[in-house]
Amino acid sequence: MYRRRVKRPPPPVFGSTLEEMGFSINERSQIVDQSGNPYKFDLKAKDREYQEAHSRALGDVTTAVVLKKLQEELGLIPTKVPFGMDKDDETSPHASILVSPDAKQCKRLLVLISGTLETLGVWSRRLMTNSSVDEGSMYSTVKQALKEGYGVVVLNPNAHWWVDGRATVQVPTGRVFKTVPDLESPEMHVDYVLRNLVQASASKEVFFIAQKYGAQALIQALHTQFDAFKDRVSAVATIESSHSIDAFSGSAFRNWWKMNAVNYIQSEVEDKNKVVYRETIGGNCVNAGTHEYDYTIIEMMPSIFRFFNARKDRDNAFEKNKDVLLLPNEDDPTTVVITFDEAAEEASPSTATEDDSGWHDTTPVKI
């Protein structure tokens, strides 16, 4: 029986700027419509496909605003990777990272790494469009870092596809694509930039903030380049990382990670700022007091910078520090010691907890 093929309507076309889409950014860094009402994704929209397309378009134009602010207001410089490309070559596959002018000579260097599918300069598109442009993007983080004297490098680990003459984090179905040389995956991107830029910097105090899968790519790169970084890293803050320390061999590396890294995680509101030990992660974690990973970024960024401040001006030599028990510091979660008694209590039914991933939390300690 012959059936007429249903013709799909053409994809909707939206404006190429916030203004063309009928939005602006108010003084609270919120995206608002022409009536001043904050934008919200309509979960009950009848045409869900249209709503999602509209949200993607809004995210694209907002990201363009963020990148402009990062460059014009904060002075970050777009830099092509792989390095060594002709500055006028726009046809060869490449991606871009953002670098502060002093990144190669600064005393302290902060490296920022976003999570899966996020674009350059963005922590969370959802947070950026639904809550705060500055905090959902990396704008607030970079601004604070520059204020405190850090040089900054913003990685772009998801832009490894090359489609229609530009790098992209996703490949449209049925499109012809290439991959960016040396940057074919988040792991390769992070390893490449650390090896070719961060290692070459003058900084002896290197700090990292890495989110979700970006943290997985970071720990893999640091493990591979352990000899180059073990005496230079001051602190590592991961946000909602799901890595397993068991995947990385070597007791020296695991000890170093436990000494220098803190993971910031979702939790009940009443548990905010409590420190727990997770064996799978290989170190201490700080509860964010929220069940939404996006908001972990907002809730924990002040805590992360306090952690970093506690680690400034430290001799980072691993051999010197590996057997030193640091005095408790309320701003440094790595100094919270989980005792054997607490670990034993964790195994009892009254105190032990286990999430879906099999991780166990020890008795929380508030800082």
User: Whose CA is closest to 148, among 313, 335, 318, 288?
Assistant: 313
What is the rounded CA–CA span in Å between residue 104 and residue 152? 10
Is 238 within 8 Å of 190 (Cβ atoms)? no
What six digits make up the tokens of 243? 């890595």
Q: Which of 129-133, 197-201, 223-227 has the lowest mean pLDDT?
A: 129-133
Determine the pLDDT at residue 71. 98
- Give the helix ranges, DSSP H, for the chain: 48-72, 125-130, 133-136, 139-147, 186-193, 213-224, 226-229, 251-260, 293-311, 318-321, 340-346
DSSP assigned state of 326: P
pTM of the model: 0.88
Provide the 8-state DSSP code for 110: E
- Reported as type and span, the H/E element at residue 209 is strand 205-211
pLDDT at 104 over 70: yes
Tokens of 62: 């907002």
Mean pLDDT, to the nearest integer, of 159-163?
89
The Cα angle at residue 147 between residues 326 and 124, in degrees rounded to 5: 85
**pLDDT, mean of residues 325-330:** 86
* Cα gap 318→217, rounded to integer Å: 22
Distance CA 108, CA 82 (A): 24
Do residues 277 and 361 make contact, with C-beta atoms less than 8 angstroms apart?
Answer: yes
CA–CA gap between residue 146 and residue 136 (Å, rounded): 18
Task: List the structure tokens of 106.
Answer: 């600064």
Structure-token pair, residue 201 = 């910097």
Number of Cβ within 10 Å of residue 35's Cβ equals 6
Give the span between the Cα atoms of 361 and 285, in whole angstroms.
9
Q: What is the C-alpha separation between 208 and 232, in angstroms, rounded?
A: 11
**Each residue of 20-48: pLDDT tens digit?**
999 999 999 999 999 999 998 775 566 77
- Give me the residue spans of the domains in the chain: 78-366
User: What three-state secondary structure class fits 27?
Assistant: coil
β-strands 108-113, 166-168 pairing:
unpaired
CB 103, CB 76: distance < 8 Å:
no
Give yes or no for residue 364 having a pLDDT over 90.
Answer: no
| Cα gap 267→287, rounded to integer Å | 5
CA–CA distance, 335 with 337 (Å, rounded to integer): 6
Q: What is the C-alpha to C-alpha distance for residues 167 and 341, in angstroms, rounded to an integer?
A: 52
Asked if residue 340 has pLDDT above 80, the reply is: no
- Angle subtended at Cα 57 by Cα 55 and Cα 59, rounded to the nearest 5 degrees: 70
User: What distance in Å separates the CA atoms of residue 279 and residue 281, rounded to the nearest whole number?
Assistant: 5
CATH of domain 78-366: 3.40.50.1820
SS3 28: coil
Output the pLDDT for position 304: 98
pLDDT of residue 13: 79
CA 346/CA 328 separation, integer angstroms: 22
Q: Is the peptide bond before 364 cis (omega within 30 degrees of 0)?
A: no
pLDDT in the model for residue 40: 84
Tell me which residue has tokens 């950026």: 128
Residue 137: band (very low, low, confident or very high) from pLDDT cuts 50, 70, 90: very high
Output helix, strand, coil percentages for the chain, rounded to the nearest 5: 35, 20, 45
175 has pLDDT over 90: no
Helix (H) or strand (E) holding 233: strand 233-239
